[in-house]
A = this chain, B = another copy of it.
Amino acid sequence: MPTAYEQLTELVRDANLLHATESLLGWDQEVMMPSGGVAFRGRQLAQLARLGHEMATDRRIVELLAACEGDAALTGDRLSVPAVNVREIRRKYDRRTRLPADLVAEFAKVTSLARHEWAEARKANDFRRFEPHLTKIIELSRERAACYGWPEGGEPWDALSEDFQPGCSAAYVQRVFSPLRPRLVKLVGELMDAPGRPDDSFNHCRLPVEKQEQFVRQVAQCIGFDFSRGRLDRSTHPFCSGTHVHDVRMTTRFHEEKLLDALASTLHESGHAIYEQNLPGRDDDSLIGLPMSDSVSLSIHESQSRLWENQVGRSAAFWHWCQPMLREAFGAEAASYSARRLYEAANVVTPSLIRVEADEATYNLHIMVRFELERALLRGDMTPGDVPGAWNERYRDYLGIDVPDDAHGCLQDIHWSLGAMGYFPTYTLGNLYAAQFFEKASEYLGNLDDQIARGEFGPLREWLTKSIHSHAMRYESEALCEHVTGKPLSADPLMRHLERKLRGVYGLA
């Protein structure tokens, strides 16, 4: 007779197996599916979601959980593999079963319509068309938050952000973002006033897309993406989708004049993928589908992608290593670009309207605008009708630019229309964690810059696996940060990184 823990983990693995299938169908839809398949694919995904929900809310799970939680041999050491699995299975089970079915259905209906109306509103550049849908989403989101509940002293935002970053709160985000904003605004101002500009002519260099693809595949392999356990394909929007630790699929996109974008996005997705490929299930199949082979949070996931994209991929050392490879890959077309010119082209800062096109520094200011607005909406301090004005005011204050219309302003992102509230900050938290982890790795590895300049990425990758990937969900994000770096998350490492690098690039050093 299997133990309660064995039965519990078997049920959870089985539910997550179906989830992995759902994820593969999602990948296929974006990357492979012919256009005619779209309606039927929606039905397939809905069926898998329904069956997966039934399995994940099986009443036997809660009975087995109770038995496991009462077993001190299992959960006494709260950082042990079984204890973490039991704790996180409980968290997810409770969360899944806390919403009434009619609220779930209503939310799905409202966001499905809102997603469509958001796209139409953006096309028509007309926020008023989206406003009633946003109003409904905020209303239902507050209801959802009330069902989930939040800790003493918290607020509705906290309850919703739990889906993306367990244990996070608006107050925590505010505490971290507050010192960051003025320092970023000041730095960007300095750079804009600098007498010189980096040489960005490489950004206009036309390179054949086929060769670009070969090149970024080579780079992904060099930094440690394992092609025997994953794929790299093309899609409209780059993404990484981890079916499971042995089959991780990422995508990128190419444009003749945008090798740097293709490279940055490949490094970014490789960072996500390397995390997924090195979770503990890598060496122990029985963990696949359990919390002890799952990622901590979206922000820790983002820290892994941003670290490879920015700390590594936008460093002088990286371009020292990369430039000869680039010459070899593209020949005469790229031969005239020195490592320094490439490094400069990868580090241009320009306040701009669109988040997804923003540079490493200003990106975080885009996030702060969104965080402040969604928090105020959920608290009831602001109504959806106030959004365009509040948005445009902040873009003037933080980024120094005027928003010409809502399509280039508060209608640019899909997230709110999907009902994803509490998601945006994970991007900037990811940037902050990335910088803090990278500082620690440099300290630990000693000569990290030299290693990168020689194309030796193994030690960094192994340090990340040992320090972060191997812990799966053992620690919550903030606890992991303290465990790895010895300090709570702070704006200092990111600001040190940006100030040192960008002042150098802009001739202010």
Contacts and interface: CB of A to CB of B under 8 A. Distances in A.
Interface in A214-254: 226-231, 243-244, 246-247
A220 to B, nearest CB: 13
Contacts of A51: 51
Interface stretch (A12-20, A350-358, A368-376, A483-491): A12-20
A21 B21 contact: yes
A334 interface: no
Given A21-B48, A24-B25, 16 more contacts: A18-B47, A20-B40, A21-B44, A21-B47, A24-B44, A34-B230, A34-B231, A34-B246, A34-B247, A35-B229, A36-B226, A36-B228, A36-B229, A37-B243, A37-B246, A40-B285
Could you say which interface size class chain A belongs to?
20 to 34
Contacts of A285: 39-40
Given A228-B35, A231-B34, A244 B17 contact: no
A288 interface: yes
Contacts of A227: 34
A34 B229 contact: yes
Contacts of A288: 40
A401 interface: no
A20 B34 contact: no
Nearest to A41: B247
A95 to B, nearest CB: 24
A20 B28 CA distance: 14
B44 A20 contact: yes
Nearest to A13: B43
A103 interface: no
Interface in A29-73: 32-37, 39-41, 43-44, 47-48, 51
Identical chains bound together, number: 2
A243 to B, nearest CB: 7
Contact of A246 (B14, B36, B228, B231): B36
A250 to B, nearest CB: 12
A39 B246 contact: yes
A176 to B, nearest CB: 37
A80 to B, nearest CB: 25
A288 B25 CA distance: 19
Nearest to A226: B36
Contacts of A41: 247
Contact of A247 (B20, B36, B230): B36
9 contacts: A17-B44, A17-B47, A18-B47, A20-B40, A20-B44, A34-B227, A35-B228, A36-B226, A36-B229
Contacts of A247: 33-34, 36-37, 40-41
A20 B48 CA distance: 12
A38 to B, nearest CB: 8
A17 B36 contact: no
A27 to B, nearest CB: 9
A91 to B, nearest CB: 24
A288 B39 CA distance: 12
The 4 closest A-B pairs by CB, nearest first: A36-B229, A37-B247, A36-B246, A36-B228
Contacts of A21: 21, 25, 44, 47-48
A286 to B, nearest CB: 12
A246 to B, nearest CB: 4
A246 B40 contact: yes
Nearest to A231: B34
A39 B48 CA distance: 21
Nearest to A229: B36
